[in-house]
Amino acid sequence: MNPEHEKYLISNYAKPALEIIKGEGSYLWDSSGTKFLDFTSGIAVTNIGHGHKHWIEKVTKQAKELTHCSNLFSIPEQVKLAKRLVDKVGPGKMLFCNSGAEANEAMIKFSRLVGKKNAKEKTTLLVAENGFHGRTIGALSATSSPKYREGFEPLLDGFSFAPLNDLKSFENLVNEQTVGVMLESIQGEGGIRVAEDKFLQGLEKLCKDQNLLFLLDEVQTGIGRTGEFLGFQKSGVRPDAVAIAKGLGGGFPIGAIWISEKWSDIFQPGSHGTTFGGSPLACSAANSVLDVLEQENLILGAREKGQFLKAGLEKLKVQYPDLVNVVRGRGLMLALVLNESPTRLIELLRQSQLLVVGAAENSIRYLPPLTVTKNELQEGLEITGNALSLIQKDQRK
């Protein structure tokens, strides 16, 4: 590791084991020339793989024409992207920003505007426990785990937490201050905990009956990752607003919220904004991601390849019942949940040139690019099987 890393970078991230300098398709290379199978996708970002030719061409062309001009002006790539996203999500409008946390900030601010209509003061959002919405103060206030909150309190008032998939608990929390419900359709950082269809449908009904906003954070579950364009679409529910980011730019920072038709004019000039939001370059990156998703039929591919990977992980659970507790997730957003800490397994996988991401509850996330091949998935499964076998042998010594 470069000694200047620690010297010049604030240590808010865990000390990295590798220095990465190149990516292509499903692979990354470190500075010593070692090649790794990348099942992290930069934490669910490079959904079209590293260095996709179409993405490079489009982004390079746009960089030559115009990188940034701000929202003082109408930006053709932004309008094009907004139209494409509205076509995919539902009747409504888009607001662009630069990250997942920022998208959630905009969604929280949206709920404040709605809650204060008609001289009322409804500001409380009901949020799922064990969720993750980002590190800014607003998004962090919507995140229940002490591990993220500690050291940063007092956070914002106006968030009440209830367990995921426990509709009664959400119902019981509703009071005259409640403005809406906000959650992930699959909790990513929380260890790939899937919100059940029935639960999401129950929340949708609760929101309709009680006149509440139904807000979904699709930052990690978006852009084809789960086998739908957005994760909630499998459940057939209709939210009032959705936050997206991560995979949208294929590696270039961009976030967005979609707001349904009913509410899409609630932000008025001057009420919200960001200098970089929806820049020509960011939107050309996102448009090229959507091109690739469509041209290569990656959403359906994520569903099929996800089934293949999940079946392989399930086999490992059967083979190593003492080590593996459960396999969770959908599409190419899967977790192998261990009975104990996954630190050793993650390290062994890295030594065998497979990169995965840890998450809460002893889980390891498998987030390969949607362009991954079955051979690459098979290779990842074999590496995982060998590492589990090694751990089991060590434990039986």
Stretch that binds ligand PLP, among 194-202, 214-222, 341-349, 380-388 (CB under 6 A): 214-222
Q: If 0-12 CB within 10 Å is exposed, 13-18 middle and 19+ buried, where does residue 248 land? A: buried
105 contacts ligand PLP (rule: CB under 6 A): no
Cβ atoms 257, 277 nearer than 8 A: no
Q: Shortest Cβ contact with ligand PLP: which residue?
A: 100
Between 134 and 331, name the residue whose CB sits nearer to ligand PLP: 134
- Integer angstrom CA distances of residue 180 from 8, 62, 394, 396: 43, 39, 50, 51
- Is 132 noted as a catalytic residue in this protein? yes
Residue 280 in tokens: 């020509």
Q: Which is nearer to ligand PLP, 228 or 376 (CB)?
A: 228
Q: How far is the CB of 42 from ligand PLP (least distance, A)?
A: 11
87 forms beta bridges with none
Distance of closest approach, residue 299 Cβ to ligand PLP, in angstroms:
19
Answer yes or no whether residue 220 interacts with ligand PLP by CB under 6 A.
yes
Among 38, 77, 105, 189, binds ligand PLP (CB under 6 A): 189
Interface with ligand PLP: number of residues (CB under 6 A): 15
Q: Which residue stretch of 48-56, 114-122, 131-139, 198-206 sits at the interface with ligand PLP (rule: CB under 6 A)?
A: 131-139
Binding status of residue 143 toward ligand PLP by CB under 6 A: no
* Residue 190 found at the interface with ligand PLP (CB under 6 A): no
Stretch that binds ligand PLP, among 58-66, 195-203, 215-223, 298-306 (CB under 6 A): 215-223
Residues 97, 101, 164, 259: which binds ligand PLP (CB under 6 A)? Answer: 101
Asked if 245 is part of the footprint of ligand PLP (rule: CB under 6 A), the reply reads yes
- Active-site residue (options: 110, 217, 229, 252): 217
Q: CA–CA separation, 44 vs 231, rounded Å?
A: 13
Residue 245 burial (C-beta neighbours within 10 Å; 0-12, 13-18, 19+): buried
Q: Are 100 and 245 in contact (CB under 8 A)?
A: yes
What is the C-alpha separation between 112 and 66, in angstroms, rounded?
A: 35
Q: By CB under 6 A, is residue 277 in contact with ligand PLP? A: no
d(CA 362, CA 158): 30
Planar angle of CA 388, 392, 397, nearest 5 degrees: 150
Q: What does residue 186 show for φ and ψ, rounded to 5 degrees? A: -135, 125
Residue recorded with tokens 């019942």? 321
Helices (H) and strands (E) in the chain, counts: 13, 17
Which residue in 226, 225, 227 sits closest to 247, CA to CA?
225
Q: Mark residues 21-50: x for contact with ligand PLP by CB under 6 A, - for none.
A: ----------------------x-------
User: To the nearest whole angstrom, how small is the minimum distance from the Cβ of residue 3 to ligand PLP?
Assistant: 28
The active-site residue, picked from 132, 161, 199, 267, is 132
- Closer to ligand PLP by Cβ: residue 299 or 333: 333
Interaction site with ligand PLP (CB under 6 A): 43, 99-101, 104, 132-134, 184, 188-189, 217, 219-220, 245
Enzyme catalytic residues: 132, 217, 246
